[in-house]
Amino acid sequence: MTRRTKALLAVVVVVAVALTAGVAWLVVGPSGPSSDEPAADATGTPGAGTPTPQARTATEIGEGFLDDWVDDDGRVVRRDQGDDTVSEGQAYGMLVAVGVGDEQRFDAIWRWTRENLVREDGLLAWRWADGAVVDDMPASDADVDAARALVLAGEAFGDPSLTEQGVDLGGAVLDEMTAVTDVGRILLPGPWAAGDGPWSYNPSYASPASFAQLAEASGDPRWSELEAGSRAVTTAVLDATALPSDWAQVRRDGSVVPLPGADGTSGTVQYSYDAARLALRYAESCTPDDVALAARLAPVLQRYDDLPMQLDLGGQSIGADQSPLAYAARAAAEASAGQHEEASADLRRADTLAQSTPTYYGTAWAALAALQVEASALGACSPLEVAR
């Protein structure tokens, strides 16, 4: 894949538009979504016996995640959330295993996923606990990440059957979890959100690098449509508010309204554990317009030294949680804006926090961020790698 050779030179500062009390929330889909918001990451100082955090390479961070959160049989365990497993975690594990070149671990994670989560339609059931699937509703971000990991593994490990399985999984996503708006095709969060619109939408699920890699592997033009449509909707999101919301509603004309939760009936309109992933997903794109979108978040996130995980859409703190994801997201935005030293420092801070107060979600994103922002093993345009 052709790589970018220069980071962008300018950052666009976006003026936040205040949300009014009169916004109407719309419930979409025949059934509600599964909740995939992680438990709050731990804050404070390490407890007794916690090793002093060490400076680590991207590969070492990834290997640490695999060692700490993946069982020998390939199950990625949310040890801080009741020892359950979700499709998202399996997909993260597969991406990290490819990123660090661990074929044995990749095979184990995919084997467990295939044997325990794959549904008859080829999509992945979302949650498994106590020996069985307890929620079989797919989550599109997990399925796209898993499909990408399979395609990358097919090339990295010389196994065309993995590529074929990735293409098949991606095809099921396109068939069952996308919709066409006036501005292009968008990724729906799950089959529950399908219909004639408006649609529930998670801005952080769109992954331009994944879409491009799956387009190349499959030859399916719908992936390119998804790239363009996602870019248009993300632009609309960031034109309306300084930060993206965890959840939103997309209307047929491509306009976007922030939602307080997946179905619009509960929760808080905020930038938090979901929305922070947007910068990471757009920063690794090989399309400059995507990278420019990630860069737009940098000025708002740089208002803080100790960056809270929960902010309103204008950038004001609404919570005290500290998470590696907060710093990883800021690193992605900074790297996209050409602020390489700041980005490297925030990646180190994310990993330090992941080591001192480990959680499944925070540690996963510290590992993925290192691989996406400063390494090249995931085959996209990691901004710090491009800048070298």
Q: Domains in the chain, start-ordered, CATH in brackets? A: 58-387 (1.50.10.10)
**Radius of gyration of the CA atoms of the chain, in A:** 19
Dihedral angle sign, alpha carbons of residues 331, 332, 333, 337: positive
* pLDDT per position as a tens digit, 47-93: 344 678 899 999 999 999 999 999 999 999 999 999 999 999 999 99
Among 247, 204, 215, 233, CA closest to 27: 247
Contacts of 33 (CB under 8 A, 6+ apart): 137, 139, 189, 190, 192, 193, 200, 262, 263
Q: What's the confidence (pLDDT) of residue 17?
A: 30
Contacts of 336 (CB under 8 A, 6+ apart): 7, 8, 279, 282, 283, 291, 292, 294, 295, 298, 383
Q: What's the confidence (pLDDT) of residue 376?
A: 92
Question: Averaged over 214-218, what is the pLDDT?
Answer: 99
126: number of CA atoms within 13 Å, CB side? 16
Q: How far apart are CA 23 and CA 118, in angstroms?
A: 38
- CB atoms closer than 10 angstroms to residue 273: 24
Q: Is the peptide bond before 358 cis (omega within 30 degrees of 0)?
A: no
Q: What's the confidence (pLDDT) of residue 23?
A: 34
What's 91's DSSP letter? H
- The lowest-confidence range among 44-48, 185-189, 381-385 is 44-48
Contacts of 353 (CB under 8 A, 6+ apart): 41, 322, 323, 324, 327, 362, 366
- The lowest-confidence range among 11-25, 32-46, 289-303, 324-338 is 11-25
H/E element, 239: helix 221-240
Among 278, 292, 227, 208, CA closest to 248: 278
Residue 30's Cβ-count burial label (10 Å; 0-12, 13-18, 19+) is exposed
Q: Look up tokens 């962008």; give the residue.
A: 8
Does position 7 have pLDDT exceeding 70, yes or no?
no
Binning pLDDT at 50, 70 and 90, where does residue 386 land?
A: confident
Instruction: Specify whether the CB–CB gap between 206 and 234 falls below 8 A.
Output: yes
